[in-house]
Amino acid sequence: MTFLENKAIQIAIKNLKDKLRHWQYLFFSLLLPILFTIMFYFMLGSEVDPSGRSYFDYGFPGMIIYAVGIGTMNAAIMFAGEKRSGMLNRLDTMPTGRKNIFLGALISESFLLMLQIIIMFIFGYVVLGLYFVGPLELFFGFLVSVLFGISAVGLGIMIASVSKTVEIANAFSLLIFMVLIFLSGSLMPFESPIVYFTPPFWAKQIFLQLTVLGQGLNDNLYSSSLIGSSAKVIPITIFGGLLIVIAFSIGFTLLGILIFQKKTKF
Amino acid sequence: MSLSKDSIAIDIKDLKKYFKEVKAVDGVSLKIKKGELFSILGPNGAGKTTLVRMLTTVLTPTAGDANVNGNSILTGKNEIVKKIGVCPQDITIYEVLRAEENVEFMAVMHGMSREEAKEKSRKLLEEFGIAGRKDWSKHFSGGMQRRLNLAMALIFEPEILFLDEPTAGLDPQARRLVWDFIRDLKNKDITIILMTHDMVEADVLSDRVAIIDHGKIIAEGTPTELKEKYGSDNALEISFLKQVDLELVNSNIQNIPFVANSSEITHKERKTLIISFQGGLKNLVKLLQQGIIDNIDEVENMKFRQNSLEDVFLNLTGRRLRD
């Protein structure tokens, strides 16, 4: 069996075809974050602080996390659609295996997340010329965003499990995603301990500290404490924050799969 | 029924599925032979789809068991799904994939290599008259989507095929086309389980039929057996021109052994004879030859209503299939 004949890969390819052939998806996932970025760019302006960085330099990591978080809705819609259309049941009558269905979905969603982040990077760092420490830090920021994206997919699977229709999954995931983004203080500062319980907060703070605030990866990763909104120091290193993001990703994904299995296997 | 173990494709033993108080399937036992086209006929909500979902391992039974191709649905799911094809009632296709992409995807899911999948799907789609379509399947007509739905279940040549209402919502022409495909499949020695509420479909296609109502099998046999055992007599209504001697015709007809009864009606100079008789179309021809032929020039109009599975269902349950 070749790599391309692997069932999970075939499911991922099918998912990608399915998504990339919907203009609504392309607009919502790839273009809307750019439109939001432009809006925030004009809102925050290009005024610089004494360190020479603009307010938007500080805000852009939050925009990336917001864009990646849309994966929640994409996953919710996809799984609710498979459930609703009967395709999930049809695949269950074939030697496909749920394992391959979930793995395929994670592969396709991760690919799309990466595409989304790359587009945002090109737009922010190349087109708008925003500040970043260095390419290595940016690559690390990329990985953190992908990790966060996986937790967003996990959350989407959870929402799909309890949604009877695609429309409900769409509305429900939008609601949860927007509340989560607000509570995490990713787009606008939010002064509350609640932020620590949201995955976007950790992902955004690590991204911000590595690519905008820090002096370089070696100095930052193990020794520096994370700096929260309003410049409060959190007694957790960036590495510790990274472990929290990983824990959220694994936890949300496993929980999503477990709930989905429980709700769709009779 | 005496069947050797090897000749049985599906052996259902007291299968039950309850959803809280609702007894969707309530103690179904059946034996389906290899290569047979077996229909499960019943109204909507009778338990047909629940039964298929258990046999195809999607649903776990509340009680009972079934062997599909020698494997228990409780313990042999992995083996069963390698041998069965399922064509669901609702059209279940990926709408923004092309026809061949849909079929190839299903083939690869069954472990076929991509080359083999491409080759087989091309041939199959040619057979189904949808080869070469480059547009997405959401643009296909209802009939084409239904055929694609069926092709997706057939690509890996299953030993047992479950067809759940394969002609639902199709126009008569498309329906006939699907029937032809099903007849072709029958000739390929595939065991076909057809779930339908269409008694004509069950009648014309099936080797044997089981009638299901409220989750229970209420009758089982060949269509002819069922009609003979539970059905009504055939009815022939003949209107004559006024010069006919209706009494004479009627007395001739009543002497024919398979005629159950016949009655004369005269209304506004129109003379009508209503004849009930047993047996199939052969007896209709005999009846015309023996009882009507001498007065054929006086026949103005003729209506024939054949005993059907609808009558069987009506006689067994007191309801029509579509009630």
What confidence tens digit (pLDDT) does each residue in A174-191 have?
Answer: 999 999 999 988 888 888
Residue type, A222: Y
A85: closest chain B residue by CA: B92
DSSP helix/strand/coil, B61: coil
Q: How confident is the model at residue A225 (pLDDT cuts 50, 70, 90)?
A: low
Q: Tell me if A89 and B88 make a contact (CB, 8 A cut-off).
A: yes
The pLDDT value recorded for residue B287 is 86
Chain B residues with CB-CB distance to A89 below 8 A:
53, 58, 88, 92
- Rounded to the nearest angstrom, the minimum Cα separation between B217 and chain A is 23
Whether the model clears a pTM of 0.95, i.e. scores above it, the answer is no
Question: In angstroms, rounded to a whole number, what is the distance separating the alpha carbons of residues B259 and B262?
Answer: 8
Tens of pLDDT, residues A58-85: 889 999 999 898 888 888 999 999 998 8
The pLDDT value recorded for residue B1 is 45
The pLDDT value recorded for residue B282 is 85
Q: Which of B58, B92, B96 sits opposite A21 (nearest CB)?
A: B96
Report in angstroms the alpha-carbon separations of B1 from A209, B13, B68, B193, B302.
Answer: 77, 14, 18, 18, 41
Q: Within an 8 Å CB–CB cutoff, is residue A99 touching chain B?
A: no
- Rounded to the nearest angstrom, the minimum Cα separation between A173 and chain B is 23
Choice between A3 and B44, residue whose per-residue pLDDT is larger:
B44
Q: Is this prediction's ipTM beyond 0.90?
A: no
Tens of pLDDT, residues A152-178: 999 999 999 999 999 999 999 999 999
B96: closest chain A residue by CA: A18
The pLDDT value recorded for residue B100 is 93
Chain B residues with CB-CB distance to A7 below 8 A:
108-109
Q: Tell me if A7 and B108 make a contact (CB, 8 A cut-off).
A: yes
- Torsions phi, psi of A192, nearest 5? -165, 145
Residue from B20, B22, B105 whose CB has the most chain A CBs within 10 Å, to mutate: B105
Q: Which of A10, A21, A85 sits opposite B105 (nearest CB)?
A: A10
Other residues' Cβ atoms within 10 Å of the Cβ of residue A234:
16
Q: Tell me if B60 and A266 make a contact (CB, 8 A cut-off).
A: yes
Question: In angstroms, rounded to a whole number, what is the distance separating the alpha carbons of residues B6 and B22?
Answer: 35
Terminal-to-terminal C-alpha distance of chain A: 32
Chain A residues with CB-CB distance to B98 below 8 A:
none
- Residue A210 DSSP class: I
Q: Within an 8 Å CB–CB cutoff, is residue A1 touching chain B?
A: yes
Other residues' Cβ atoms within 10 Å of the Cβ of residue B252:
16
Residue from A18, A21, A93 whose CB has the most chain B CBs within 10 Å, to mutate: A93
Q: How confident is the model at residue A220 (pLDDT cuts 50, 70, 90)?
A: low
Ranges of chain B with pLDDT below 70: 1-6, 320-323
- Torsions phi, psi of B278, nearest 5? -95, 165
Identify the CA nearest to B87 among candidates B185, B13, B223, B7: B185
- Rounded to the nearest angstrom, the minimum Cα separation between B85 and chain A is 8
Residue from A94, A100, A264 whose CB has the most chain B CBs within 10 Å, to mutate: A94
Chains A, B: CB pairs < 8 Å: 64
Residue from B81, B134, B157 whose CB has the most chain A CBs within 10 Å, to mutate: B81
Contacts 24+ apart (CB under 8 A), A82-85: A83/A160, A83/A264, A84/A164, A84/A165, A84/A166, A85/B90, A85/B92
The pLDDT value recorded for residue B55 is 94
Chain A residues with CB-CB distance to B59 below 8 A:
266
- A91-95, A230-234, B157-161, range with the lowest pLDDT: A230-234
Choice between B1 and A48, residue whose per-residue pLDDT is larger:
A48
Residue type, A154: G
Other residues' Cβ atoms within 10 Å of the Cβ of residue B225:
15
Chain A residues with CB-CB distance to B82 below 8 A:
95
Q: Which positions in chain B have a beta carbon within 8 angstroms of at least one beta carbon in chain A?
A: 53, 56-60, 78, 81-82, 84, 86, 88, 90, 92, 94, 96-97, 101, 105-106, 108-111, 113-114, 136
Q: Within an 8 Å CB–CB cutoff, is residue A232 touching chain B?
A: no
Q: How confident is the model at residue A237 (pLDDT cuts 50, 70, 90)?
A: confident
Chain A residues with CB-CB distance to B94 below 8 A:
14, 18, 87
Q: Which of B60, B94, B113 sits opposite A18 (nearest CB)?
A: B94
The pLDDT value recorded for residue A97 is 87
